[in-house]
Amino acid sequence: MPGPLHTPQRDLRRPGAVAAMLTAGVLLATLLTLQAPAPTHAQGTAQKLAQVRDRQAQLADRLQAHNGEVNALIGEVSELRAKEDAVGAALAERQAELDRTTAELEAGRERLVELRKELDRAGAELEDLLVSLYKSGSPDLGALLLDSSDFEDFAVQTEYFDRLQGYQSSVIERARALRDESVALVAKLASDRARIESARDQIAARRDELARSRAVLEQREAALAAARKQRRDALSSRSSREEDLVKALEAPAEPATSGPVAPADPAPAPVPGQTAKLDASGNAIPPAGAPPAVVAAIEAANQISDTPYLWGGGHGSFDSSGYDCSGAISFALHGAGLLSTPLDSTGFTFWGEPGVGRWITVYGNSGHAYAVIAGLRWDTSGGAGPRWHADARSSAGFVARHPSGL
């Protein structure tokens, strides 16, 4: 007799059927996984590149903010140094006045000693006269008349005693006048000296206060410069990483024999006969073929080519009575519309694009910066202030940067 028919429910209870179903499920999942598109190497590299560029943009924004803070601090330090110099000059003037007053005081004291000697002599004479008068008594007209042999003798004695009394009075009055004059002179000189010493102490205290403030600001500037260097190093590292990722991204699509593609020249480099020249006053004359931005930079630099060197000049504000190296470069680039806020020499080491430019190149390091614009060097070397120079200088130890397209 045939056995009963097997239903699906009964087949699932069998161990062999369960194992077969599980195996089929695993195979199906594997097939689905193999059929799903796997991320390519280029997609992974592009994603990393996007992350690096995003991080780069954030670091660049932070660098820009710190550049602004450092520039403001340089301006404040420069202003405080100028005030300190003014206070120092006032202190020197007051000190010279104090020295003159002290010399006058010493001369007055010497004169007082002489006057006291004269007064002592006059006093001794008066004392002798008083003793003589005490012994001889006070003469009167009657006594003189009786003692006189005749009228002429009487007149002579009377004239003698009048002169004696006049002499006594003159000595006394002169001694009193000299004494009063000496006392007044000494009092005035002493008062002047006390007043000048007080003013000098106040100025010295103010100068010390300014020096302390400047020291605090320089410490803040140094701290910000250190932070800026860390971020610049990080940005440089990211830039190197970006270049590696770009190469990795483009390598599969490039033929093995292909070389780098030269970028188009938006502004041709100056050729002989198109470089700037110096006129008799020392200003630069832009060449006829220079781009408008280069002409504007030269014209801006000419505006301050006779100003003196001033540490921090051109940082608190583009307009200043003097300029330092980076302040002068900032003024020229600002005039060309290439810079919105001043930069210090370190800030120029990562400004713009890397390398030597066609028309404008800024060379910077932590201690100095200069620019070459249309073949002329714009520099403060020599100490006189920002000037144009036809001769070149060594760029060893400097980082070369240039504005995009120039």
pLDDT of residue 129: 65
CB 379 within 8 A of CB 370: yes
Distance between start and end Cα atoms, the chain:
102
pLDDT of residue 177: 80
Question: Side chain identity at 201, as an amino acid letter?
Answer: D
Residues whose CB is less than 8 angstroms from the CB of residue 140 and which lie 6 or more positions away in sequence, other chains included: none
Instruction: Retrieve residue 325's tokens.
Output: 């190296």
Specify the CATH class of 41-240 in words: mainly alpha
Specify the CATH class of 266-402 in words: alpha beta
Between CA 106 and CA 26 the distance in angstroms is 114
- In 3D space, the residue among 270, 292, 305 whose CA is nearest the CA of residue 389 turns out to be 305
Alpha-carbon distances of 227 from 66, 286, 366, 389, rounded to whole Å:
8, 39, 14, 35
pLDDT of residue 12: 40
SS3 content of the chain, % helix, strand, coil (to 5): 65, 5, 30
Global confidence as pTM: 0.58
Which parts of the chain sit beneath pLDDT 50?
1-20, 22-24, 26-34, 36, 253-266
pLDDT of residue 305: 94
What is the residue extent of each domain of the chain? Answer: 41-240, 266-402
Average pLDDT, the chain: 75
Q: Give the phi and the psi of residue 322 in degrees, each rounded to 5.
A: -160, 170
pLDDT of residue 308: 94
pLDDT of residue 178: 73
DSSP 318: S
pLDDT of residue 190: 82
